[in-house]
Amino acid sequence: MHSAWDRFVVISGCSGGGKSTLIEELARRGHAVVEEPGRRIVREECLGDGAALPWVDGAAFARRAITLALADRAAIADASDWVFFDRGLIDAASALQHLTGEPALDRLASSHRYHRRVFLTPPWPEIHRRDTERRHGLDEAIGEYDRLHEVYPALGYEVTVVPRIGVEARADFVLAHLGN
């Protein structure tokens, strides 16, 4: 590995597709992980005035997610092994661009790279659930997945779709594709 971003591995994809469970398994195995910015923001906003909740002001939410994703990268810049990100900067910038047309995506994506291989969890209707932090339905989640499936390759990333298998096998799949 040559630079810090070579160690930064994004696990993205369909909301409700098992990303967070996969991240938890990788953490259980001793890998450094970064929790999804969106869920942290929703928890904070629910304790405050809620002005940047995604269902109140999607653009404000995406801007906060960009800020948090940049802070996450800076906080873990000295990591010497794999760091797995549950979503991250590109997801947030893609959402902002989708919502507002602001061209932040290319600028941020070129100056803040991740490992060339990005893992996407596909739509998995059998496990998708709404909760207090995820209020959108499966159709919206699939639309987001489709956008990300286009965005990452357009930015030069190799997309690997994670199969719908048990979480331990999913973690094995990710690590095998990274050469571990």
Dump pLDDT digits (tens) for 122-136.
876 565 555 555 455
Phi-psi region of 88 (alpha: psi -120 to 50; beta: other; left: phi over 0): left
Residue 153: C-alpha distances to residues 60, 73, 116, 117 (Å): 26, 21, 10, 10
Dump pLDDT digits (tens) for 43-96.
888 788 878 877 778 898 899 999 999 999 999 988 889 999 999 899 999 999
Could you report how far apart the first and last alpha carbons of the chain are, in Å? 13
Domains observed in the chain: 4-177 (3.40.50.300)
Instruction: Report the chain's mean pLDDT, rounded to a whole number.
Output: 86
Residue 1 pLDDT grade (very low, low, confident, very high; cuts 50, 70, 90): very low
Phi, psi of 159 (to 5 degrees): -95, 130
pLDDT higher than 70, residue 138: no
The confidence score (pLDDT) of residue 39 equals 80
pLDDT higher than 70, residue 15: yes
Which residues on neighbouring strands pair with residue 34, listed in sequence order? 85
